Chains A and B, each alone.
Chain A
Amino acid sequence: MSKAVSVLNGARFSGLAEVADAGLVGMITLRGDLESSAVAAAVQSTTGCAIPAVRKTVEASGNSVSWMSPDELLIVTAYDQVADLCAKLQEALTQEHALVVNVSDARSCFTLSGNGAREVLGKVAPVDFAADQFQPGDFRRSRLAQVAGAFWLDQGGAFHIVCFRSVGEYVFNLLKTAADPDAGVGVYS
């Protein structure tokens, strides 16, 4: 089997904030009725996470579960655990009208951390990143300049950014440009 690599194979950039290709990340799309107790039980028992509230991310046991839409969750886990987790979810959801798909290789993940992180992301997404408006555990799907993307802020203050792999290089270069050391605005500092 060929060796899996992430879109930019761990590329990093340090400027107003630290931008990094997060490497291989396991990602699962779960579509189904998020109000259903069977779905909640399946997610809880396999990931350790509760169903997140609207536009929130729940982190537990090294996994995270994010609210993508009223009928969709994004489950993030370790890359080498993803097939196993998919199988467990599918097994737990056999009686439910639900869909579980491994999307790890269809998407790319980046992290954005450091003091300038809010400003850097604020330059490319039409979202208010003021500290009282976008807090740890908040999740949002929006656009990153010209492409669709999703991001959440973890409890440690780092943003996790997800986009389609086909535009991964675009997003990395976009964040790199926005984080140029000479491009500081100071809007959230």
Chain B
Amino acid sequence: MLILTCPYCGATAEETELQAGGEAHLKRFGPGSSDEEFHDYLFVRENPKGVHFERWRHTNGCGKWFHAARCTTSLEVFGTYPAQTTEPPQDIQDKISKKRPGWSWREFSCASAKDAS
């Protein structure tokens, strides 16, 4: 059972109160973009084994959309954060770096790995 804390109402909501909203932080490619960019925007998604960022909606609750950072293998939840952002908050990224050194997801990655490269 997945339990996420809604950042708007603070409820520890279990899966049946929530609706999965797919991958987080998608950047829209609309008019003026190349066919390839538009194709990727529509169809290409991350499917990681490990650290993942998703959108969820507290459907049977306050009704708000929010983000969650979690691990797809252990179901560990690293944190949840409001929808009004285009990237995971630094404190959540740091928390993940401590627990999953070397993680990367799209353009985001472990701080120490960035320093090494």
Contact = CB atoms under 8 A, between A and B. Distances in A.
Contacts, number: 36
Interface residues of A, number: 12
Contacts of B9: 54-55, 67, 69-70, 141
Interface in A43-74: 54-55, 67-70
Given A68-B62, A69-B63, A143 B8 contact: no
A148 B16 CA distance: 11
Nearest to A140: B11
A148 B62 CA distance: 11
A10 interface: no
B46 interface: no
B10 A55 contact: yes
Contacts of B17: 126, 142-143
Contacts of B48: none
A131 B107 CA distance: 46
Interface in B1-41: 8-11, 13-14, 16-17
B112 interface: no
Nearest to A126: B14
Contacts of A141: 9, 60-63
Contacts of A142: 11, 17, 60-61
Contacts of B13: 126
Nearest to B60: A143
A69 B62 CA distance: 5
Contact of B16 (A69, A70, A140, A143): A143
Contacts of B62: 68-70, 141
Given A126-B17, A143-B16, A70 B10 contact: no
A137 to B, nearest CB: 15
A140 B14 CA distance: 14
A54 B10 contact: yes
Contacts of A54: 9-10
Interface string A104-143: 0000000000000000000000100000000000001111
Given A126-B16, A142-B17, A69 B11 contact: no
Contacts of B11: 55, 140, 142
Interface of B: 8-11, 13-14, 16-17, 59-64
5 contacts: A126-B17, A140-B11, A141-B61, A142-B61, A143-B17
